[in-house]
Amino acid sequence: MTPGARPPLDSTYFKRMAAIEFAVKFDDGMGSGLREADIVLVGVSRTSKTPLSMYLGYLGYKTANVPIVKGIEPPAALFEIDPLKVVGLTIDAARLAEIREQRARRLGGNNRRYAQLVAIYDELEAAEAVHRRLGCPVIEISELSIEETAARVIRLIEQRRAAGATATTA
């Protein structure tokens, strides 16, 4: 609690920095880090995958995220990794349209379909199909902060790992 004091450069600090770097490196399905990830987030564009990955990295979890894009098959590695570390993210279609409209205006883009409700429903259905194939839990993030979503993700991952460990020892 000293002004200007730096956090200690201990193993926790270095673990946190490595996890944040991991989240940056494996953002939006980039690279092949799904196997090394502690957590893999899967959802459509604008479901807070990137900021959530960064926050989970800050908490020390190596997090990768994979976007679901209608008409584009997710990477095969997504279906080959430990399913206990995969969490789906979804959002209310109207809320997603609102977020995307604001983003499109800011970016001055011409892609009207990106924020169109009918297209969003199609995307969310495609994501739901992928989530079912993965057998992963899904968190509805429409009204959640990043911190609340992170707490739910961590709780799900830890519960699933504990249940998995119990099942293998029984």
> What's the pLDDT score for residue 170?
64
Tens digit of each residue's pLDDT (9 = 90 or more) over 36-52: 999 999 999 999 999 99
Mean pLDDT over 85-114 rounds to 86
- E strands, 11-121, in order: 39-43, 63-67, 86-90
User: For the whole prediction, is pTM greater than 0.75?
Assistant: yes
- Rounded average pLDDT over 104-123: 81
Structure tokens at 118: 């009918």
Identify the pLDDT of residue 155.
98
Residue 165's pLDDT is what? 80
Instruction: Give pLDDT, residue 43.
Output: 97
What is the percent of the chain where pLDDT is above 90? Answer: 73
Which residue is listed with tokens 């960064």?
54
Q: How high is the pLDDT of residue 136?
A: 97
Q: What would the two tokens of residue 124 be?
A: 């969310």
Checking if the pLDDT of 64 tops 80, the result is yes
Under DSSP, the state recorded for 75 is: P
Res 9 pLDDT > 90 = no
**Would you say 2 and 24 are in contact if contact means Cβ atoms under 8 Å apart?**
no
Token pair 């196997």 is found at: 35
pLDDT at residue 109 tops 70:
no
Report the candidate in 44, 93, 92, 98 with the shortest Cα–Cα distance to residue 68. Answer: 44
What lies within 8 Å, CB to CB, of 48 at 6+ separation is 89, 141, 146, 149
| pLDDT of residue 104 exceeding 90 | no
pLDDT at 42: 97
Residue 4 has pLDDT above 90, yes or no: no
Q: Copy the structure tokens of residue 141.
A: 């993030």
CA dihedral (71, 128, 140, 43) in degrees, to 10, reads -30
